[in-house]
A and B are shown apart, each in its own frame.
Chain A
Amino acid sequence: MQTIGILLARSTFYHTIGFDLYEGLRQRLKQLGRSDIKIVTENIGFGADKQQCYRSAEKLLLEENVSLVIAYIGHRTAQLLRPLFLSANKMLIVLDAGANLPQEWSASPNIFYHSLHNSLGAWLAAKQAVKDGYKNGGMVTGYYDGGYLQTFSISKGFEGAGGKICFNHATGYKKEDFTMLPLKSFLKEFDNTALLTLFSGDYMQWNFEEIRETINKNTPIYLSPFGFEETMLETAIHPNTKTKGVAAWAKSIKNDENSLFIETIESIGRTPNLFSLLSWESAQIALKVLDLLNANNNNILLTAQDLYTFEFDSPRGKIKFHAETNTSIGQLYNAEIIASNDGKCQVRIDEAIIDTAEEFETMTQLELDNISSAWHNSYTCI
């Protein structure tokens, strides 16, 4: 029997994340007729404790003898685990929120990144804002979300398209410190301004509440993919201003794969979300890796080369790999958040973005100018 290991993170505001990651993988394997594959889990907390991450991965490899490991971690933790996987000649599939930009897009044949592309989505949303006619931008984020280099991609995306970042507002991470009041004076000072907004989880809800109270209807908000996370939006009050951006996935995307994903996850009494989506998709990558390892006599280099040409249809559209960075490229969508009948938020997908691979290539060429992120934990895992 083959065994897949999965490192599960936890999060206080996405408290089902561990179950979502596990069930996404398990249900897709079952749906693909591979219930014979055993899944072994290990907990990595918030993903910030190096020792816990390393020991959990080590346990899966050395004690459980898993064939490969799937982990919801970032680039930095993946780098920490790199020598272990090289030494064990095993493959690590990183489920990556894509909120950070790594210091080095290094391509180790043992590590493949399956990404939700939050930074790329932020980059594209910022460009869209300029295209929509907004030359002034204010970056709005918080102590937590602003610690990831999605802040760099959203700013560079806006400036690269011809816009100017006129102000930055990073609010506190406790409810009592969370405020959008400073935006009032900024928006008085700068006309024709778009708010380039980076939040996730509860922060997104707090942001909408405050925005609704603070700014006028004419100031648009542009969001990254985690701003379109639907379980959070279901209970969020609509901010009462034009709110758009780039989504990685939504329940309303029309294709057979998405219908199957939603039906399957709902049939076990769970709500499909970005995390169950990511691990659902990873099942197909994992099965391909297992086949390739078998065909290539466990030669990781040959397996990695073969994986570069692997493509599959997923609930969010076609997924393929960018060989220079070992990162999957998925479909992204221009989307808008509209008010539901009860004044809450819902996602409206407007159109698929056609050139995500080219945009990703451009974004990976960004020079980080010696900036770095101090956050080690998996994105949204606080």
Chain B
Amino acid sequence: MEKQKKIIVLCGGKFAFQSLQALAYEKFLCGVGIGKGNNRITDALERESQDNHMAFKSFPDKKSINEMRAWLDEVQPDYIFSISFPFLIPEDVLSYGHEKFINFHPGPLPQYRGPMPIFEVLKNQETQTAICAHLMSSTFDQGNIIFNDIVQIENKDNYGRLAVKLSNRMAHTVLNMANMVQFASTIPNKPQEESEAYYFEKPDFTDTYINWRRMGAEEIISLINACNPWNIGADATFQGEQVKIIAASIVDESHKSKTPGTIVSLTTENSINIACSDDKQITIEIMSTDDGIIASKQFNPHRYLIGACFN
């Protein structure tokens, strides 16, 4: 039996917690680094690390990455796993060891490079996503791929649910990877297919805004799910007020050529039905308005709604 490999995990917060537990339980974990974490999570991780005699280091900003190489030289891990670590690892740190840095990207590569693949796969109505284990290079998400571990997306999944699902799955994937580095004679990997690659920037307002004229009902629902809860919901404007639509569902019923964005009817439960560009409707269940987060029936009494238009 070969000596148990020692692994440091660089993470960004609670998304990595289950993976840390799994690696610690199997005695692979020798240290934890956290980037840009909030005080509560950083303190908790530091305490747990101390209690379990593991190395710990906080990297609160980009500048603090300068201290990483010395820390690695001191701890001497066999491998460094990165799970949603927010900073790019520079060449002088990567030179600690060839093929020693492995990132776990919460989306399929090379198709979904970028900082928020969970948002992008939901917005693009994918039916499955992946956790991609890849070697790290000095550019984000571009190192050689070891494997893409497929995760199914269900209709009910929004950003929050899918993130939890991926976090749970991540623990298995990370442990499988740890076993691979423990037992494999080589880590199989191959370059990313650049013709299939796409880098998605961090979404901004134009990405989270509902374009009623262009988007069909399913696209809008996917965008709403993709925005809940990190952006509260999908952005829209109603009578000059910025609102966010948090939960909605499709009504497969013609709106008889109403302008997209128009409120077609109110249901018996006082939900609001809105015309979409593909002659289907969506019914809004929960919104965030200046009045706070409300069920759509609470939105109703204030105004005369039928015929009014979201834009």
Residues of A within 8 A of B (CB): 50-51, 54-55, 58, 62, 79-80, 82-84, 86-88, 104, 106-109, 301
Contact = CB atoms under 8 A, between A and B. Distances in A.
A58 B150 contact: no
B2 A84 contact: no
A84 B188 contact: yes
17 contacts: A54-B184, A79-B176, A80-B176, A80-B179, A82-B149, A83-B146, A83-B147, A83-B180, A84-B184, A84-B188, A86-B148, A87-B146, A88-B188, A104-B172, A109-B150, A301-B128, A301-B150
Nearest to B145: A87
Q: How large is the interface on B (under 10, 10 to 19, 20 to 34, 35 or more residues)?
A: 20 to 34
A38 B169 CA distance: 36
B2 A108 contact: no
Interface of B: 1-2, 128, 133, 146-150, 152, 169, 172-173, 176-177, 179-180, 182-186, 188-189
Given A79-B176, A86-B149, A51 B188 contact: no
B179 A87 contact: no
B189 A87 contact: yes
A108 B189 contact: no
Q: Which 3 A-B pairs have the closest CB atoms?
A: A86-B147, A54-B183, A87-B147
Contacts, number: 54
A86 B179 CA distance: 14
B172 A83 contact: no
A108 B188 contact: no
A325 to B, nearest CB: 12
A285 to B, nearest CB: 20
Nearest to B130: A86
B149 A58 contact: no
A382 B146 CA distance: 34
Contacts of B180: 54, 83-84
Contacts of B182: 50-51
A118 B11 CA distance: 41
Nearest to A84: B180
A50 to B, nearest CB: 6
B149 A108 contact: yes
Given A79-B172, A106-B169, 14 more contacts: A51-B183, A54-B183, A55-B183, A82-B176, A83-B146, A83-B147, A83-B173, A83-B179, A83-B180, A84-B184, A88-B188, A108-B150, A109-B150, A301-B128
Contacts of B2: 51
Nearest to A324: B152
A62 B1 contact: no
Contact of A58 (B1, B148, B185): B185
B188 A62 contact: yes
A280 B87 CA distance: 53
A83 B176 contact: yes
A54 to B, nearest CB: 4
A88 B172 CA distance: 19
